[in-house]
């Protein structure tokens, strides 16, 4: 019961600032302090949403963006897990790969776009690849660091009881690193949304990034705001889902 009240309180406190922001937004637009062509009122943004929704466009934008993020995230995270494990567990692969990967990580997301378009054309592949690059690095970094720092005494205990290779990884090393892995996945998902906009800003005809770009060209500030709010909501929603999984996975750590 006390836990329940705690949750209610937490949600209420978390909602306080967004609600206040909404009120301020409403106040400054209703009073005419800021002209509508710079900041449309909340209800104008709401109308833009329902309008796009009834025309069936909003659903398409949301669906395609979510799909790109999820596919890119899964691919990038999977490769990040594999490469992170290799670099974290083997000195040789660390010496071989870590410097190069460190340098590649320093490349800003937008810098990849021309190259990806050249190589993979403007279709889905180039976008998903860019998002996968974005999701790869947080997973790779956290997994390799966590595996490198697994308590050697526990690893030795694993070996003493006959675990080696993949079984040692599965029974000792990965479980030890699990909290870090989940944290890395969470970061990666956030990063995937960031890279999504970079991918869709450049060359696309659908998606929230396209909506942003297109609205800018047509001067539809209401739709720009709508896209921003939706990106924030979707990012928060997917993060909350991972957070839920995290709690179930890590409750006994």
Partner 1 sequence: MNVDLGSTTGGRQQPALSVALSGVGRTFPTPGGGTREVLREVDLDVRAGEVIALVGPSGCGKSTLLRQISALDAPTTGSVVVDGVPVGPGDLRTAVAFQEPRLLPWRTLTANVAFGLPRGTPKQLGAARVAELLELVGLADSATLRPRQVSGGMAQRTSLARALARAPGVLLLDEPFGALDALTRLRMQDLLLNVHAARPTTVLLVTHDVEEALYLADRVVLLRDLRDSTPEDTSIARIVEVPGDRPRDRADHELTELRAELLEGLGVAAHHTPAQPA
Binding site for partner 1 (CB under 8 A): 153-154, 156-157, 159-164, 171-172, 175, 178, 252-253
- Nearer Cβ to partner 1 (164/217): 164
Tokens of 6: 């705690």
Task: Provide the 8-state DSSP code for 122.
Answer: S
- Nearer Cβ to partner 1 (28/154): 154
Q: Are 94 and 87 in contact (CB under 8 A)?
A: yes
Minimal distance in Å, beta carbon 247 to partner 1?
14
Q: How many CB atoms lie within 10 A of CB 158?
A: 20
For helices 221-250 and 42-54, what crossing angle results, to 10°?
A: 80
Minimal distance in Å, beta carbon 223 to partner 1?
48
- Nearer Cβ to partner 1 (37/253): 253
Q: Are 79 and 89 in contact (CB under 8 A)?
A: no
Q: Are 133 and 74 in contact (CB under 8 A)?
A: no
- Nearer Cβ to partner 1 (131/150): 150
Task: Provide the 8-state DSSP code for 161.
Answer: T
């Amino acid at each position: 019961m006390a836990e329940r009240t705690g949750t209610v309180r937490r949600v209420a406190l978390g909602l306080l600032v967004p609600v206040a922001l909404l009120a301020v937004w409403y106040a400054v637009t209703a009073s005419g302090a800021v002209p509508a062509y710079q900041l449309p009122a909340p209800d104008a943004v709401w109308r833009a949403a329902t309008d796009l929704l009834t025309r069936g466009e909003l659903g398409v934008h949301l669906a395609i963006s979510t799909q790109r993020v999820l596919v890119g995230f899964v691919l990038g995270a999977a490769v990040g897990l594999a490469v992170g494990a290799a670099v974290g567990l083997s000195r040789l692969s660390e010496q071989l790969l870590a410097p190069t990967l460190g340098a590649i990580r320093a490349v800003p997301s937008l810098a990849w776009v021309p190259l990806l378009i050249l190589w993979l054309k403007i279709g889905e592949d180039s976008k998903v690849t860019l998002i996968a690059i974005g999701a790869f690095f947080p997973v790779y970094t956290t997994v390799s660091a966590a595996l490198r720092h697994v308590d050697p005494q526990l690893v030795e205990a694993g070996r003493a009881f006959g675990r080696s290779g993949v079984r040692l990884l599965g029974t000792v090393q990965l479980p030890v690193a699990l909290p870090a892995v989940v944290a890395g996945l969470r970061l990666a998902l956030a990063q995937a949304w960031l890279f999504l906009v970079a991918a869709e800003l450049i060359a696309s005809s659908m998606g929230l990034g396209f909506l942003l770009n297109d609205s800018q060209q047509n001067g539809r500030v209401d739709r720009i705001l709508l896209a921003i709010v939706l990106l924030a909501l979707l990012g928060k929603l997917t993060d909350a889902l991972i957070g839920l999984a995290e709690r179930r996975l890590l409750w006994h750590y």
